[in-house]
A and B are shown apart, each in its own frame.
Chain A
Amino acid sequence: MNFRVLRALLKKEYLQIFRDKVMLRQMLMMPFIQLLLLSSAATFEVKTARMYLVDNDHSETSRGLVEHLRASGRFVVVGASPSMEPANDALLSRDAGMILGIPHDFERDIVRTKSAKVQLIYNAEDGALAGVTNSYAQQIISAYARDLGASLRPMVAESPSIDIRTRGWYNQALDYKDYMIPGILVQLLTIIGTLLTAMNIVREKELGTLDQLNVTPIPRSAFISAKLIPLWTIALVELAIGLTVARFVFDVPMRGSLLLVFFAASLYLVVALAIGLWISTAVDTQQQAMFSSFFLIMIYLLMSGLFTPVRSMPTWAQWIAEVNPVKHIIVIMRAVLLKGAGIADIARPLTILAVSGAIVLSLAVRQYAKTSR
């Protein structure tokens, strides 16, 4: 490779990138805005569930249960009535998200048989929301049952039989942010790597400058390197910005080596950039490049385990996820940042990334050589 030619090409690329102030601003703002929005707005956490109360017991114990739910801060009582009719109406009109039904013999059953029934009805239009609300309610109710067991012990022989204690490792507070932010940073790398690369090369096709470049002795290797290196560096700078924001604004733990994070990201970017290069060989306009990139990125992200766990996908989808580079870099990011994993712990996904990088890049370069003279 001729380094003088490569240097001239790189200089030109950086000049163009730094001259496009609009793009530059957007690239700098992107990590902030994405992290802010996706990590705090796009959360499964349920702040307050609106609860409609149908208490037919009116006992000390039933009032205690309601009080426990309210005291958790996660439930507010938006209405109460002795019959189910108005409760159902409230659920239908979405005035309430759930109904808590307490039967007539609640307290008596607890005292006599140490077990009683309560009814929980959810509006499950949004399944995830209902599920999360249910798990909060279950936790609080069983905690209350434990308390009752303790306080009732002098009177009854047995304490409640089942005692489940949950403890989330590596993310003890089950903080949604800690889990999402590494993934969002990966999304950022993917957009810059794939979308910007494809657009950047296709723009030269559209403007006709690619023809002008092709009637020069620029070797293909120099041209491709000069296209990929600048976006590779920019993506890594973005990652640095994103990690800084994650650490100091969102207090995301960084238990592992940051050097390892950047090393893995560099490998992953080779794949992302090569895919962008590949797209650029298949399309003629920036519009097509944008559409193809978005299409691919969407599939990649949906099948990556960023939003939904890979383990809950059907088997065929799990196989796709296995060859999805986004899945592996997300695994690595979460493992290194949240668990403090070392290079040995992530050797497998790291190897997969390195191998796919080599394969995709060489295929993309071959495709580029085929479509241009």
Chain B
Amino acid sequence: MSDPAVVVRNISKKFETTVALDDISFDVSHGEIFGLVGPDGAGKTTLFRILTTLVLPDSGTATVLGLDVVKDLWAIRSRVGYMPGKFSLYGDLTVAENLSFFASVFRTTVKEGYNLIAPIYRQIEPFAERRADQLSGGMKQKLALSCALVHRPDILFLDEPTTGVDAVSRREFWDQLHTLRETGLTIVVSTPYMDEALRCDRVALIQGSRLLEIDPPEDIGRNYPLPLIAVTSSDRYQLLLALRESPHAHSVYPFGAELHFTDDRAGADPASVAAELEAWMKSHGFTDAAAHPIAAGIEDSFIDRMSTPARRAS
């Protein structure tokens, strides 16, 4: 178990003229939840398709469970569970038929895999005779996860599993992933949502086909390079416009009920920057405006990276 569960080295992939992945390298350890976080079109799905042996990389190597994704595809296929981004089960088959079909093609039975899937499958078992296309989004996702798990894979690839699922089901889903991790399962999951990134053990930020940073989610904001100030005001929109024109604005964007202001003077003392900013705002007519320094979160970090990829790359 000393080798990493997934090893990706210098993987690149082009589709005609579009670069989908550009020199990607990372490792995933056994038993961790590894998140690939990035906007749509960042290349996450292509990476999943390479790791699940569906697509060949143009260059670079990758192994899953020590098996080469190009040469050992059949060995990989019987040991991974894959849940594509789009619901890809048979809508015209019932819940039970889908599950037993996927068990059979992995040369096993639902009974043998039941222990592992029970916490998830039990919730949809009352609808076992319902056609899969008549399930709600959350139930479809549970069925898909059950089908991906029924053969007791050693590693699970989940491509944006919570897209189109309500907030409660999303939270439940992540609780289930943590339960699964307890059994020793390695999970590689992609998501466009920052709150979900926080529930991964490690996160890889991916954008524009490049990997930006790999860290535990709580560490991702740690390297935020500039002073970050949270600003509140009753007139948020006018303030946003005004702050963008202020002397040291690097970036300003709404964040929940606040605005997050990044000062362009690296190394400046955040407290004095905040005080200076508050004074500037008051002098510009935003009498109720308040500013205080904050630590950057993963979302701030991500927005920063997305807006200035060139600075990171250099």
- Measured CB to CB, the residues of A under 8 A from B are 2, 4-5, 7-9, 11-12, 15-16, 19-20, 207-209, 211-218, 373
Contact = CB atoms under 8 A, between A and B. Distances in A.
B86 interface: yes
Interface of B: 49, 52-56, 73-74, 77-78, 80, 82, 84, 86-93, 97, 101-102, 104-107
Nearest to A212: B88
B48 to A, nearest CB: 10
Contacts of A5: 104-105, 107
B55 A217 contact: no
Contacts of A9: 105
Given A2-B107, A12-B101, A214 B54 contact: yes
Contact of A373 (B53, B82, B104, B106): B53
B105 A213 contact: yes
Contacts of B92: 15-16, 19-20
B97 A217 contact: no
B17 to A, nearest CB: 19
5 contacts: A5-B107, A209-B89, A211-B82, A216-B102, A373-B53
A342 B72 CA distance: 52
A12 B88 contact: no
Contacts of B93: 12, 15-16, 19
A211 B88 CA distance: 8
Contact of B56 (A4, A8, A208, A373): A373
A2 B104 CA distance: 11
A215 B55 contact: no
Contacts of A208: 84, 86-88
B54 A215 contact: yes
Contacts of A20: 92
A106 to B, nearest CB: 74
A217 B77 contact: yes
Contacts of B84: 208, 211-212
A215 B82 CA distance: 7
A217 B74 contact: yes
B141 to A, nearest CB: 14
A373 B54 contact: yes
Nearest to B79: A217
A19 B90 CA distance: 12
A2 to B, nearest CB: 7
B105 A215 contact: no
Contacts of B104: 4-5, 7-8
A213 B265 CA distance: 53
B11 to A, nearest CB: 16
A212 B93 CA distance: 15
Contact of B89 (A212, A217, A218, A373): A212
A12 B90 contact: yes
Nearest to A5: B105
A373 B70 CA distance: 10
